[in-house]
Amino acid sequence: MEMKHDMQHEHNVHVKNDEQDHSSMEDEEIKDWKMKLIGSLIFAIPILIFMVLDRIFGITLFNEEIVILSLLILGFPIVFIFGFSTIKSGFRGLFSFYFNMDSLIALGTIIAYLTGIFALFGKVADYSGISAMIMAIFIIGKYIEAKARGRATQEIKKLLELGAKNARILRGKEELEIQIEEIKIGDIMIVKPGEKIPTDGIVVRGESSVDESMITGESMPVEKKAKNNVIGATINQDGILYVKAIKIGKDTFLSHIIKLVEEAQGTKVPIQKLADKITSVFVPAILVLAVLSFIGWLIISGDLSRSIGVAVAVLVIACPCSLGLAVPIALTVGSGIGAKSGILIRRGEAIQTMKEVKIIVFDKTGTITKGKPEVTDIYSKVKENYLLEVASSLENLSEHPIARAIVKKANESGIKKFKEVKKFSILRGRGIEGSIGKNKIIIGNSGLMHLNKISLKGFEQNINKLESEGKTLMIAAENGKVLGLMAVADALKEDSINAISELNKQGYRTVMLTGDNKRTAEAIAKEVGIKEVIANVLPEDKAKKVEELQKRAMVAFVGDGINDAPALKQSNVGIAIGTGTDIAIEAGDLVLANGSLTSVLHSINLSKKTFRKIKQNLFWAFAYNVIAIPVAVLGLLHPIIAEAAMALSSITVVTNANLLRKAKI
């Protein structure tokens, strides 16, 4: 048993280390591109100064050979050190006949750079400065892309941090505090109010309510007593629990959620696929055209230098800087506009896939609803303020969320002081009781009233109505007579009805997916306008339900809880509510910072408009090639014109992307 435990402990440590290593790898990628960017700019700025002075203003600081040599020396680290990974990837694509954008950038920069060496011998015009500028701007684009994509494994890191770090266990009659990794199956853990339950187990002694919202997303705590199962990392509320550990390490519920998130990662369509598809045809076509141009001019003119010059002109004009900027610049502008509206684009892939979404799935608690219980209805035989004063005096002594909702309602009604309560006690799972002066007060559900033989006559219709709406009912009685009813429910967010209505009008299929009971879920769905409800879904099954819906159409999932993370990952576009848990936010492709469902509509509009700009940018990036390549083939493209065309294409792409700022979302 000890050996098994040691192996389990070792496994846990390895799993944590692997996840942390993976997370740091993501950070390293962003850091790597940043360092390449800084290094490239250090060498690119002097090159730009040389080129502007010499080729635009005609100011020559040195003789031509020294200028060319300077450009070659300054360009070398940009192309062959900071751009090495791109060169390597591009030529691997050329040799394997799988052409991508790296192939175009690599080939264009290498050929252009080599012209500088040939230019020293007076063979061809010098394009080496252009080579360095192409690679520098491409590196800027790659850094922007890396930042926009986000860090793919942060959600795993945050999940690992959720669990308890230590546990208090009972060994014989002695209480010991140990590290979480040292827990063995069968250990009795002592969990006091406010503490995290260390690992999955079964209650052997004690009664309490447990806040499982961090796992289930549901706001109401769950009552626990002997023989009830509890989940590791959930929070004990108001009683001491003695829990027998039944699962440890990779077998726990939290570990299972981590595994689901891992499995759902990396399955989405990359936004660069469109550019790569075009490039896969474009690159070989340009290669063939450059070779044919060289052969054709060599046959016609017999001038080797002229023929090389034409072939190089074709290759250079075919590799505009704008191609490297087309996607990331539009994404950056779109991200900036979104951020101002409370919409954070964490992964650029969502921009491409959002336009295909037909089904929008919503979690209930904290997404459609506020995630906090509120008093929604009061029916009273006495003055409402008297009912609230009596009820809040008792409820103020409880830490239960329903109690807090009643106290909050009393405060809002102007009740700031509470009456003195004696003989207060919590009736687990039923309610509370106590005495105010000579009056015995009981507050709880209808079962508690029946147990105390308190008649509910005159309230039956209201009780049935409130229960049919899926609300939690609290009945207050004084000396055996009912004072009134208080209904507590997770209230809708103010804009949920309008947002769902607009989505329905636009032809989206809206679905609610929740772990809540069917009656409550259907009551909320009816109120908000959602036609389809999938209720009683276990947290680990949410991703499966999303996968089933994906068989019919592309799915966007909107959620805020830890249990939503796998579903957010599984969906084609995960939309996380920013007021929710960190893990949900990290798992989302888009994050709605203000938690408003109207932002779902805005994010759809933003995604569509941003993707439209990306397509336009790619069109303009290639349009200059299509126009200029025939001119280059005919030998009419002067190097200055080639440079101007490339600069103009980049300006066009940047300007077009910035027009997005005027779009209404």
Annotation says 363 is catalytic: yes
Helix-helix angle 598-633:321-340, to 10 degrees? 160
- Asked whether the beta carbons of 132 and 74 are under 8 A apart, the reply is yes
Q: Which residues of 530-541 are buried (b: 16+ CB within 10 A; e: fewer)?
A: beebbbebebeb
b (16+ CB within 10 A) / e for 79-111? beebbeebbebbeebbeeeebbbbbbbbbbbbb
* Local structure of 594: helix, strand or coil: coil
Quote the distance between the C-alpha of residue 238 and its chain's center. 34
C-alpha to C-alpha distance for 255 and 233, rounded to whole angstroms: 11
3-class SS of residue 190: strand
Gap between the Cα atoms of 28 and 34, Å rounded:
10
Taking 3-state DSSP, the helix, strand and coil percentages for the chain, each rounded to the nearest 5, stand at 55, 20, 25
Cα separation, 540 vs 563, whole angstroms:
7
Is residue 591 within 8 Å of 578, Cβ to Cβ? yes
d(CA 166, CA 169): 10
| 8 Å CB contact between 477 and 435 | no
Q: What are phi and psi of 414, to 5 degrees?
A: 95, 5
Q: How many CA atoms lie within 13 A of 563 on its CB side?
A: 29
54, 126, 200, 363: the active-site residue: 363
Structure token digits, residue 177: 């505090």
H/E stretch holding 411:
helix 401-412
Residues 6+ apart with CB under 8 A from 390: 419, 436, 441, 476, 478, 483
Query: Distance between CA 351 and CA 337 in Å, rounded?
Result: 14
Residues 6+ apart with CB under 8 A from 221: 209, 210, 211, 212, 213, 237, 400, 401
Catalytic residues: 363
